[in-house]
Amino acid sequence: MQEPPQEQPPTLASWHIPLSDDGALHLDARAGEVITVVGANGAGKSALATWIASNTPDGVLRRVLAQRKIWFQNSGASISAADRENVAMNMQHWDRSLESRYLDHVDHQRADIALFDLMGRIHAEDHRIAELAYAGVSSQEIVTEVGQRLFESLNAVLKQAGLNVSIATSDQQTFTAQHRTLGVDYPISQMSDGERSALLLAAEVLAAHENAVIMLDEPERHLHRSISASLIEALIEARPDCGFIVLTHDLDLAVTLSTRPGEVLSALGVKWSGNDATHWSLQRISPESPITDEAKRAILGGRRRILFVEGTSGSLDFPLYGTLLPGWTVVPAGSCESVIRSVGGLSKSEEHHWVDSRGLVDRDGRSDSERADLAAKGIFVLPVSEVENLYYLPNVIEAVAKKQADAQGEEVSGLVRAAKQAGLDALSDSQTLQRLAKKLAKDEVARKLLSEMPDEVGEDEITLTLTTPYPGILQELEQAKQNNDYEAFVRKVPVRDTSFRAQVARALLFLSITRYEKAALLTITENPELAAKLSKDIFGEAGSPEWS
């Protein structure tokens, strides 16, 4: 029997946001859900926040501005009830003004207002408990009626965020902090920046009226990355009656929030008419999309052309790709399998048709048929065994040798001959050739095994017969050795596993592999003609990973 559809949480506010293509994007803020908007600087997030504030009914939205100040001179609110009432009459106007993108007219009072509202909620809660007690209501019924105390929620949020501090009130109607481990009490005015920021964010959220739409503009400001996501998640869980709009630069926070009920939008740009933002370029990111975290981070960052590569951002090959492909966002995805999954997941997601994604993987001895199969999936294969080998191609060696010759007073051709011979000598003995051939053969067999793996495994016996590629690979390497074919080795074998790189670097008068590869990267960066040749070598005549 088909299950009845789940009832949606109540809608607290709705908007029709004008889009750059003259359409409109409908958004509903619902209780317990999060609308996450992420994008780079200049993508229109703050302008969108102001537009939403201007198009929300009075009394519905509580906006926490990005440019908030987190310091306060005292440990309690320095404003009176009359001051709070007067400010409230103006805050809605100021939060809707164009200036709110960069200016807060009440920045000197925001912290006081947050503490005033928090203390007010605490007093109201205490008063309600006293009323119930005087009326003869039992303790258990009072607990059921009131629910979790505000202080319990506040300190639970801080603890969940990983902060080792709890908050209490003093007899003087101020707030005090206590270190959970050391047991030391101190005024909240002496808290660290991160602790104060977390307290003020928590006060804004927990003191908001029931069924509010709470807009957090760059909540990660003044927070360490290790606590921002957990703090925001804890606050959202603490207010299931409220809807949330979170505008952020933090891709980690956006990825975390994308798993919660609600909407995730990537802000790609904004159109202006004078000083007014009029239309936005926004894309929905579906949480059900079969995409990897690397892909999600890239598209949440507003990226349209994404090239997934093997490796990590800390390696030298990452800036090399950036030099060779200035028009693409290069995203290190880790392993070859992660590159293939990232590109495949995006290609299966129709809602990401605006994202142009490709992949680039090491050659690793792949056959022509393997490379053709990957190309059909939008995956390019390097013309060399591993990306580091690009630094040792003859044209790169020659370009670096020219700079070294100028600096050291040497002859270019002599340096080039010495470097190539040193590389060949490092690979010349039979044991090295056999070891390299075995590694390439093993990698090829492993890929074939994966490709032959059945979709389902039952009781029937599985038999796989593979012919070893080792003799053919070894013959190719021995032929390259016989022909003194330096370039063939650079393209075919993983030289990282040999003394090849160190010998070539030394022949070019460098003290280490790292120094040579950094010099090679700088040479490629400063030489557009060389960079273009490398791009053409990698991606063919187009010189960039276009779809063929």
In a domain, 34, yes or no: yes
Check whether residue 236 and residue 321 sit in a common domain.
Answer: no
| CA neighbor of 448 nearest in space, from 473, 469, 427, 479 | 469
In a domain, 369, yes or no: no
pLDDT score for 131: 85
Check whether residue 48 and residue 22 sit in a common domain.
Answer: yes
In a domain, 103, yes or no: yes
In a domain, 300, yes or no: yes
Write down how long the chain is. Answer: 548
In a domain, 367, yes or no: no
What are the start-end ranges of the E strands in 382-438?
A: none
pLDDT score for 299: 63
Quote the CA–CA distance of 48 and 54 in Å, as a whole number.
10
| CA neighbor of 360 nearest in space, from 381, 340, 391 | 381
In a domain, 227, yes or no: yes
* Domain-terminating residue out of 229, 250, 284: 284
CATH number, residue 19? 3.40.50.300
pLDDT score for 287: 63
Q: Which residues of the chain have pLDDT under 70?
A: 1-6, 66-74, 76, 78-79, 83, 85-108, 287-304, 313-316, 349-354, 541-548
pLDDT score for 225: 75
Check whether residue 259 and residue 304 sit in a common domain.
Answer: no
Total domains in the fold of the chain: 3
Check whether residue 77 and residue 139 sit in a common domain.
Answer: yes
pLDDT score for 1: 44
In a domain, 508, yes or no: yes
One-letter identity of residue 248 = T
Check whether residue 392 and residue 300 sit in a common domain.
Answer: no
Quote the CA–CA distance of 185 and 49 in Å, as a whole number.
38
In a domain, 427, yes or no: yes
Q: Which residue has the tokens 């990973």?
A: 545
Check whether residue 335 and residue 274 sit in a common domain.
Answer: no
| CA neighbor of 331 nearest in space, from 354, 353, 305 | 305
pLDDT score for 8: 79
Buried b (16+ CB within 10 A) or exposed e, 166-190: bbebeeeebbbbbeeeeeeeeebbe
Whether this model's pTM surpasses 0.75 = no
> Could you tell me the residue range of the domain that residue 419 belongs to?
387-450+469-539
Check whether residue 210 and residue 62 sit in a common domain.
Answer: yes
One-letter identity of residue 402 = K
Check whether residue 276 and residue 128 sit in a common domain.
Answer: yes
Question: Do 266 and 282 meet the contact criterion of CB atoms below 8 Å apart?
Answer: yes
Quote the CA–CA distance of 211 and 9 in Å, as a whole number.
11
Check whether residue 206 and residue 84 sit in a common domain.
Answer: yes
pLDDT score for 176: 87
Check whether residue 58 and residue 88 sit in a common domain.
Answer: yes
* Domain-terminating residue out of 238, 261, 284: 284
Check whether residue 426 and residue 302 sit in a common domain.
Answer: no
Check whether residue 270 and residue 304 sit in a common domain.
Answer: no
* Domain-terminating residue out of 240, 260, 284: 284
> Pairing state of beta strands 243-248 and 34-38?
parallel
